[in-house]
């Protein structure tokens, strides 16, 4: 399949007509590419164990789809930055997001970028990492609402090495930078290491996809409540 969702049952863009004020739209970004005709689309974003392979972009899409299903079923406006199994460029994804942001200027926009981590040097590296852009922005305050649900996942939540008292890591990732330039709050999640055999086996399960989606849904639900009560995540 060229697309990883069936748009007849789960639209790429969903608008809740009865959204509160301010209305909020979540942009779901499933990192890297998926599989087309049995061929994985993103070289380097996979890991080969002796008895199985794991493809990061495929797993990202499964979690993103489950998250969007929760948004759809609970009347939360959302949009996928891509629904293709091809490895669409970061520029293409962000251009589409920018198009939607401009189409809905009265909305508060939130980017959730879904990934899994990797390292060649530490086979036992493990845990969840969570990124916002450098400096203090609304994204940092929004991030605080997601932390309790990351801890509930039962995985180690990795700290910011530069600031060990903080779990929110800072990085100038392209998608974070571009989304914030649009006025959106932006967060990037790495749910476990696909280069760690134990975590890779977990990442590939339906249960884990649902656990990740649940954490993101609950954090988003709390963020929307905060924004509609106070007008800001601060």
Average pLDDT over residues 112-122: 93
How confident is the model at residue 32, as a pLDDT?
97
Structure tokens at 212: 């990740």
Average pLDDT over residues 178-196: 97
Structure tokens at 191: 């749910």
3-state secondary structure 24-69: EEEEEEECCCCEECCEECCCCCEEECCCCEEEHHHHHHHHHHHHHH
Using a 10 angstrom Cβ sphere, with 0-12 exposed, 13-18 middle and 19 or more buried, the burial of residue 175 is: buried
How confident is the model at residue 154, as a pLDDT?
87
Structure tokens at 89: 């460029």
**What does the alpha-carbon distance between residue 80 and residue 210 come to, in Å, rounded to a whole number?**
18
Q: Compare 122 and 38 and report the one with higher pLDDT.
A: 38
pLDDT at 219 over 60: yes
Q: What are phi and psi of 143, to 5 degrees?
A: -60, -35
Q: What is the pLDDT of residues 76-94, one digit of tens each?
A: 999 999 999 999 999 999 9
How confident is the model at residue 117, as a pLDDT?
96
**What does the alpha-carbon distance between residue 90 and residue 204 come to, in Å, rounded to a whole number?**
24
Question: Which residues sit opposite 203 in a β-bridge?
Answer: none
Average pLDDT over residues 196-215: 97
User: Could you give the domains of the chain?
Assistant: 13-230 (3.40.630.40)
Mean pLDDT, the chain, rounded, equals 94
pTM metric for this prediction: 0.96
**Alpha carbon of residue 179 to chain centroid:** 13
Is the CA virtual torsion 92, 95, 96, 97 positive or negative? positive
Q: What is the pLDDT of residues 132-186, one digit of tens each?
A: 998 899 999 999 999 999 999 988 888 665 565 566 788 999 999 999 999 999 9
Helix boundaries (H) for the chain? 56-73, 90-103, 138-143, 147-151, 174-181, 197-203, 206-230
Structure tokens at 13: 């863009």
């Amino acid at each position: 399949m060229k697309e990883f969702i069936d748009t007849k049952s789960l639209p790429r863009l969903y608008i809740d007509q009865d959204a509160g004020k301010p209305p909020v739209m979540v942009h779901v970004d499933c990192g890297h590419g998926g599989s087309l005709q049995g061929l994985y689309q993103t070289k380097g974003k996979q890991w080969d164990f002796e008895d199985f392979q794991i493809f990061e972009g495929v797993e990202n899409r499964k979690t993103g789809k489950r998250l969007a299903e929760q948004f759809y079923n609970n009347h939360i406006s959302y949009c996928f930055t891509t629904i293709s199994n091809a490895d669409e460029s970061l520029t293409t994804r962000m251009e589409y997001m920018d198009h939607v942001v401009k189409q809905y200027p009265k909305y508060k926009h939130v980017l959730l970028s879904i990934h899994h981590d990797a390292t060649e040097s530490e086979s036992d590296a493990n845990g969840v990492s969570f990124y916002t852009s450098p400096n203090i922005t609304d994204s940092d305050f929004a991030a605080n609402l997601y932390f309790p649900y990351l801890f509930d996942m039962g995985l180690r939540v990795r700290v910011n090495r530069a600031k060990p008292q903080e779990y929110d890591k800072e990085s100038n990732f392209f998608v974070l930078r571009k989304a914030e330039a649009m006025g959106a709050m932006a967060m990037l999640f790495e749910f476990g290491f696909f280069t760690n055999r134990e975590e890779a086996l977990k990442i590939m399960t339906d249960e884990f996809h649902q656990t990740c989606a649940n954490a993101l849904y609950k954090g988003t639900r709390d963020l929307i409540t905060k924004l509609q009560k106070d007008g800001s995540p601060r």
